[in-house]
Amino acid sequence: MSEQKTQSYVNEAEERAAIMKRIEASNAAQERYAKKQYKMSLISAGANVIVLCLAVFLIFTMLPKINATFENLNAVMENVETITEELSTVDIEGMVGNIDDLVVGSSDSLNQAMKKINAIDIEKLNNAIGNLNDAVEPLAKFANMFK
């Protein structure tokens, strides 16, 4: 029986040793996982700091431009309001009537001019130009002698 007890103690000791090895292996795996988790936390914190710095930089550089854009937008809106008010007071019917009168007057003037152009006697005009040429030609020859 003593041998059995000794054997039992030996088996128990081997089991405990095996359990201890498994616990040590588990602890080593947990330690590696904790180190990886720590590194990822550092990377995440660094990325958050970089994003924060970038956001602050963009806010300070873009804020004046955004303000200027809003000021320009306000000025444009004021101009649009002014133009809208001016357009609401314009007499469009009167303007269309004036344009219509202008077109009718231009048409009448154009018709009168066409009648005068048609009334010109081209043959008499050609004869007058020929006579003028005949009268000026001797004077031109005379003036060329002094050159």
Q: Residues 2, 43: one domain? A: yes
User: Could you give the dihedral angle defined by the CA atoms of residues 102, 107, 111 and 113, in that order, rounded to the nearest 10 degrees?
Assistant: 50
46 vs 109 pLDDT, higher one: 46
According to the model, what pLDDT value does residue 2 have?
Answer: 65
What is the tally of structural domains in the chain? 2
For 72, the domain range is: 1-90
Q: Residues 83, 114: one domain? A: no
Q: How far apart are CA 48 and CA 43, in angstroms?
A: 9
- pTM for the full predicted model: 0.40
Q: Residues 63, 82: one domain? A: yes
Residue 146 clears pLDDT 80, i.e. is over it: no
Residue 142 clears pLDDT 90, i.e. is over it: no
SS3 (DSSP) at 120: coil
Q: Residues 77, 142: one domain? A: no
User: Average pLDDT in the 18-42 region?
Assistant: 95
9-18, 117-126, 138-147: the lowest-pLDDT one: 138-147
Residue 37 clears pLDDT 90, i.e. is over it: yes
Q: Residues 84, 96: one domain? A: no
Q: Residues 7, 69: one domain? A: yes
Last residue of a domain, one of 90, 120, 136: 90
According to the model, what pLDDT value does residue 90 have?
Answer: 72
- pLDDT tens-place string over residues 71-129: 999 999 998 988 888 877 777 777 777 787 788 788 888 888 888 888 777 888 888 88
